[in-house]
Amino acid sequence: MTNRIKIATLSLNPAIDQTARVPEFTAGRVNRVEQEQSDAGGKGVNVASFLADFGGQVAVTGLLGAANAEPFVALFARKGIEDRFVRLPGRTRVNVKIVDPILDQVTDINFPGLEPHPEDLLRLTETIDSLCADTDWFVLSGSVPAGVPETLYADLVTRLKARGKRVVLDASGAPFAEAVGCGPDIIKPNIEELSELVGRPLKGRAEVLAAARLLVEQGVGLVAVSMGAAGALFVERDGAVVATPPAVKVKSTVGAGDAMVAGLVIGTLHALDLAGRARLATAFSLGALGELGPNLPGAEVVESFAAQVQVSAFEASS
């Protein structure tokens, strides 16, 4: 990637991700933590971290509590990420992830975020406008905190597309539904989020493919549907492929989907074909699974994973 291409990620509702490793975790009793780690997180922060690990020139913005911003500041300094977050009074939320290596289960406990005022959102919009001067790609991802209009993502996608920017959208619920019709270049729902978006359960690959193709016909450039251990489906106007990952040892699931988003952006910047983007995005996700926190292994490890990913033309009956 050339240095003149900058990517900005937006996190409206960042979090400090606290991961606790608890073998045989059981609700209703005392559980002993075997290992603990806290990381600056939130979907946009994770995407930026992965992009920086792979040599991307990245800026981050969004809404950040000033009272406990230190983990974020340290992460950005360590990875050379440009910090353009709008500071709010108060503390950024903490999300707890309980990883049970024995039962192979993950329990998430997500806290509510800060509630910004209209003037905070105005400052954020001004920051995004200033980033447009030297930024080609914007990644809008994550939940929307209380008090923020559900149309904010839609307004931002429209605003950025009007300025000729490339936009990735990775969200859920009403804010996601409002923005999908505004023509983002890439979206990355999982099957549950895609089902909610189209308003019906999706049973089998044929229905997943049909739903993704409908979104492409409505103006989305690329739909990447994550399907967990079964891999991911990638659909654009000229084709559809499915990427199936090899089995890997999982240290943490934190940010695996965000790593896929980062891989899609990098693959697009490198002008890879659909199969190549699918392979690299899946390799990024695999790399994240083997690390604690929002980190990628070295490029040679990512390339090794990419070589092991099976990519084939998508067949609805398979």
pLDDT tens-digit readout, 37-58: 888 999 999 999 999 999 999 9
Task: Provide mean pLDDT across the span 158-182.
Answer: 96
All domains in the chain, ordered by first residue: 42-81+116-313 (3.40.1190.20)
Cross-strand bridge partners of residue 15? 41, 93
Query: For the segment 294-308, what is each residue's pLDDT rounded down to a tens digit?
Result: 888 888 899 999 999
| Per-residue pLDDT, 1 | 41
- Token reading at 298: 């070295």
What rounded mean pLDDT belongs to the chain?
92
The encoded tokens of residue 128 equal: 């995004």
Known catalytic residue at 258: yes
Per-residue pLDDT band for 292 (boundaries 50, 70, 90) equals confident
Question: By percentage, how much of the chain surpasses pLDDT 70?
Answer: 97
| pLDDT at residue 248 in the model | 80
Q: According to the model, what pLDDT value does residue 16 have? A: 94
Determine the Cα–Cα distance for residues 274 and 256; give it in Å rounded to an integer.
20
Per-residue pLDDT at 53: 94
Instruction: Write b or e for each residue in 16-30: b if 16 or more Cβ atoms lie within 10 A of its Cβ, otherwise e.
Output: bbbbbbbeebeeeee
Catalytic-role residue among 39, 238, 258, 273: 258
| pLDDT of 3 over the 60 cut | no
Residue 5: band (very low, low, confident or very high) from pLDDT cuts 50, 70, 90 = confident
